[in-house]
Amino acid sequence: MRYFPIFVDTQNQHCLVVGAGEVAARKIELLLKTEAQITVVAPEVTPTVKTYAEQGKISLLERRFRDTDIQDQTLIFVATNNSQLNQHIHEIASKAGLMVNVVDNPPLCRFITPAIVDRSPIVIALSSAGVAPVLLRYLRQKLETLIPQRISQLGRLFEQFRDKVKQHFNDLDSRRAFWEEVMEGDIAEQALNGNHEEAVKAIESKLANSSAQQPLAGTVYLIGAGPGDPELLTFKALRIMQKADVVVYDRLVSSDILEMVRRDAEKVYVGKAKSKHTLPQDDINHLLVERAKAGQRVVRLKGGDPFVFGRGGEEIETLIEHEINFQVIPGITAATGAASYSGIPLTHRAHAQSVVFATGHLKDDTIDLDWPALVQKNQTLVFYMGLTGLHIICEQLIQHGLAPSTPIALVQSATTHEQQILTGTLENIVERAKQSTIAPPTLIIVGSVVSLHESFAPYNQLNRNKLIQP
């Protein structure tokens, strides 16, 4: 992130605009929405800028720029058609440590002005670092239609009661919970409908009836983060993630998804890799209980789905034992994600009428599965966490009746931009895997449906395969 997004307090601050053409006029119009004291210097002035000066909105100096003009300025906008002058102002302002923006010339900008959705005191700023202004306008238009016009009134209501709520509740979690209840209830609706007085009375009543000492009831949310692509998150998952006080996440949760968690939420990593547990499962279970009993909203963020080899059932048993409230928000499991993004349908009328999910996780160097039940005609097999035991899986499937020529696919990092796929047969995939760079997390798909990959993948818009050639 080259440009750090900040909002500058313009109260009692001085801003200089060099230039008074139509481009400068647009910057002045934007600055007039702030509380800054605006000075414009230019030898030639357009009628729009002159009108601002006549109305007393700006101080206008109808002359050429002088180096001393930058003194005591907080922000400097340069909007002239003189490239040498633009370069000169940039150099002296930068040397003085001042924030300078040469309009439409990013290399000469120490800051850039974003696209703005203005619902003061609620202001949303959007930036593309100057590289995609058309995309920026598109996003702004979308936001303008999504955000209620009266959101500003809700913002003013929050501002009016901010200090009262802060005095009433001693801790941050209680204050946050109070405001979120206001946001999700009738009080916010009253404000958004323009009924400010009714909203004020309702929030005063709610505050009077809220005990500052009342303990908060903690809740644990078991959320399926999906197989990796952040666009596969559910709306509900994203909404709960934005409310979390603490997020307990594992190794399979992608960094892109973790970015969607509320910024000031505490993040606790409990990832598990082969033979390496940051925290044993029992400790994770009791961590959830401990944080919930402390009144926190705990998000247990898991790759895939919590109830498909995610140990969600074990964690819920502990929560029930300790009488902790919980919710389960399902996610797209790795099997369906890998199948969709690699062009391998798990079922197909001509190939497979059933699909079975199994774990390939080794325990005492064995995989204790009902192999005869797995080896059925017209059935697709999906093995989670099976790369280490791949040789055992292939040997057992062949031994119990599957043809050595049965197609098999290994899909690594499914649905992400790191997704890779290695195909083969039960008799050659182990050797092919040894000669490749395939590594966990990898899903194994076995069955004739794998043969459809080569014909389906080129036309699949979700296809992210990097085919591995050992």
The whole-angstrom separation of Cα 50 and Cα 186 is 48
The whole-angstrom separation of Cα 113 and Cα 14 is 17
pLDDT reported for residue 274: 56
Active-site residue (options: 229, 250, 302, 305): 250
The answer to whether residue 229 is catalytic is no
Instruction: Please give the helix or strand (H or E) that residue 137 lies within, else none.
Output: helix 133-146
pLDDT reported for residue 464: 62
364 — pLDDT class (breaks 50, 70, 90):
low
The whole-angstrom separation of Cα 250 and Cα 254 is 9
The tens digit of pLDDT for each residue in 173-186 reads 788 888 888 887 78
131 — pLDDT class (breaks 50, 70, 90):
confident
Q: Which of 399, 397, 361 is nearest to 380 (CA)?
A: 397
Task: Give mean pLDDT, residues 45-59.
Answer: 96
pLDDT reported for residue 132: 85
Q: Which residue has the higher pLDDT, 362 or 116?
A: 116
190 — pLDDT class (breaks 50, 70, 90):
confident
DSSP bridge partners of 219: 297, 325
Chain position carrying tokens 């000492």: 213
Question: Which of 24-28, 39-43, 135-139 shows the lowest per-residue confidence on average (mean pLDDT)?
Answer: 135-139
Q: Which residue has the higher pLDDT, 50 or 297?
A: 50
Q: Which of 63, 50, 51 is nearest to 18 (CA)?
A: 63
The tens digit of pLDDT for each residue in 316-330 reads 999 999 999 999 999
**Amino acid making up residue 129:** A
In the predicted model, is pLDDT for residue 276 greater than 70? no
Helix, coil or strand: residue 70: helix
pLDDT reported for residue 172: 81
Active-site residue (options: 50, 243, 267, 272): 272
The whole-angstrom separation of Cα 218 and Cα 295 is 4
The answer to whether residue 272 is catalytic is yes
The whole-angstrom separation of Cα 351 and Cα 354 is 9
pLDDT reported for residue 3: 85
470 — pLDDT class (breaks 50, 70, 90):
low
DSSP bridge partners of 59: 39
294 — pLDDT class (breaks 50, 70, 90):
confident
pLDDT reported for residue 367: 80
In the predicted model, is pLDDT for residue 463 greater than 70? no
447 — pLDDT class (breaks 50, 70, 90):
very high
Domains of the chain by range and CATH?
Answer: 14-113 (3.40.50.720), 151-208 (1.10.8.210), 219-332 (3.40.1010.10), 335-459 (3.30.950.10)
Q: What is the mean pLDDT of the chain?
A: 90
Task: Give mean pLDDT, residues 55-69.
Answer: 97
In the predicted model, is pLDDT for residue 433 greater than 80? yes
Helix, coil or strand: residue 461: coil
pTM: 0.70
For the chain, percent of residues with pLDDT exceeding 70: 93
The tens digit of pLDDT for each residue in 401-415 reads 999 999 999 999 999
273 — pLDDT class (breaks 50, 70, 90):
low
In the predicted model, is pLDDT for residue 363 greater than 80? no
239 — pLDDT class (breaks 50, 70, 90):
confident
The tens digit of pLDDT for each residue in 216-232 reads 568 899 999 999 999 99
Q: What angle do CA 217, 218, 221 make, to 5 degrees?
A: 135
Task: Give mean pLDDT, residues 358-368.
Answer: 73
pLDDT reported for residue 243: 85
